[in-house]
Amino acid sequence: MDIVTTSSTSSFRQTRKEMMKIAIIGAGAMGSLFGARLASLAEVWLVDAWAEHIEAIRRDGLRLINLDGSIWQVSVKATTDPAAVDDPVDLAIIFVKSYQTAQAAAWAAPMLGADGLALTMQNGLGNLEVMAEVLGAERCVQGVTSHGATLLGPGQVRHAGAAATYLATRPSIDARVRRIAELFTRAGFETHLSDNLDSLLWGKLVINVGINALTAILRVRNGVLAEVAPARALMDAAVDEAVAVAQALGVTLPYADARARTREVALATAANRSSMLADVLRGFPTEIGVINGAIVREGARLGIPTPVNQTLVWLVQALEATTAARVLAGGG
């Protein structure tokens, strides 16, 4: 297998002034994927607290396995210290877990230049509002991406699935958002602009509601949910509740059949470990509160029963709380 080595300056002859400067806060699977693909087009910093991952990137570069099986070894700046990012950045992309959003926004605040924007493409609902409380709404942008990625280990990420990316725009920042969209498209992320992302945001949420918690509870890859009848029934039931809540809110989903679309995504990313499964396997907190938990909260507010999603929330929370007490195969 040939390995292509890239760097932030090798592929495109741009001056430092011409290149966009980007800080990606949260260098997990998605942050690493975007960082690797943007690094030849922009000056990119990866900022993450996982010291082993950052050290591997600084020592050997970031190894990206692309969808076609090709391998890139990418040179990219990486740090565990937000203060190490020198000079103002044009864009801070927030890819941390939802419970870390406020801290990530606080890290981004001193990095952003006068016209800098902070973009969230995180899972779940509420991240944009948390960022706005720290940075001000005028500096924050909502995005939705359906790309999938798996972090294989320190300094290694696999691109696990591709789909379109959407960025919200508004008149006051339209030129800056268009520049970001053009850069993403050049990096291989098909990107479109929208002045109303509610449909797409909820479209992604409904799919995550069906897939993430169940893969974490069952300890299976995405494709199993579509292939095993009892798992598929649970997935369908969780999705049905999310659709009912979306309809009550007046949200039109970007697909006609939510059950079918969720199964399609599960099969299209069959080999992928969901982010929630990865968190449970590592004993980390999950984003259950902004995914299935968001359906439960909105359902309660609207008077719509969500018993399946409530059960999934309790089960994942129980998994989080009993990590140290887990009985393993072959154990006592």
pLDDT in tens, 30-57: 999 999 999 999 999 999 999 999 999 9
Residue 302 lies in a domain: yes
Q: How many domains does the structure of the chain reveal?
A: 2
Phi, psi of 163 (to 5 degrees): -160, 175
**Contacts of 27 by beta carbon, 8 Å cutoff, 6+ apart:** 35, 46, 47, 48, 50, 53, 54, 57, 78, 95
Tell whether 141 and 227 lie within a shared domain. Answer: no
Question: The CATH number of the domain where 68 resides is what?
Answer: 3.40.50.720
Task: Please tell me the distance from the alpha carbon of residue 110 to that of residue 135, in angstroms, as a whole number.
Answer: 10
Candidate list 21, 77, 97, 204, residue with the active-site label: 204
Tell whether 176 and 254 lie within a shared domain. Answer: no
Residue 240 and residue 257 in contact, taking contact as beta carbons nearer than 8 Å: no
20 three-state secondary structure: coil
- What's the whole-number mean pLDDT along residues 180-185? 98
Tell whether 83 and 187 lie within a shared domain. Answer: yes
Question: The CATH number of the domain where 284 resides is what?
Answer: 1.10.1040.10
What is the domain extent for residue 25?
3-195
Tell whether 142 and 9 lie within a shared domain. Answer: yes
Of 44, 45, 46, 42, residue with least CA distance to 18: 42
Tell whether 170 and 61 lie within a shared domain. Answer: yes
Please indicate, yes or no, whether the overall pTM of this predicted structure exceeds 0.75: yes
Residue 329 lies in a domain: no
Tell whether 152 and 234 lie within a shared domain. Answer: no
Higher pLDDT, 8 or 213: 213
Tell whether 134 and 276 lie within a shared domain. Answer: no
Tell whether 137 and 212 lie within a shared domain. Answer: no
Of 224, 261, 228, 222, residue with least CA distance to 242: 261
pLDDT at 10: 39
Per-residue pLDDT band for 17 (boundaries 50, 70, 90) equals low
Tell whether 32 and 126 lie within a shared domain. Answer: yes
| pLDDT score of 271 more than 90 | no
Per-residue pLDDT band for 240 (boundaries 50, 70, 90) equals very high
Active site residue 204: yes
Tell whether 59 and 129 lie within a shared domain. Answer: yes
The pLDDT tens digits of the residues spanning 120-179 come to 999 999 999 999 999 999 999 999 998 888 899 999 999 988 889 999 999 999 999 999
> Which residues face 94 on adjacent strands?
25, 120
Residue 326 lies in a domain: no
Tell whether 213 and 158 lie within a shared domain. Answer: no
Of 12, 16, 56, 15, residue with least CA distance to 32: 56
Residue 298 and residue 309 in contact, taking contact as beta carbons nearer than 8 Å: no
pLDDT at 163: 86
Last residue of a domain, one of 155, 173, 195: 195
Distances (CA, A) of 21 to 18, 42, 47, 104, 188: 9, 6, 13, 17, 18
Tell whether 138 and 10 lie within a shared domain. Answer: yes
Per-residue pLDDT band for 2 (boundaries 50, 70, 90) equals very low
Task: Please tell me the distance from the alpha carbon of residue 240 to that of residue 236, in angstroms, as a whole number.
Answer: 6
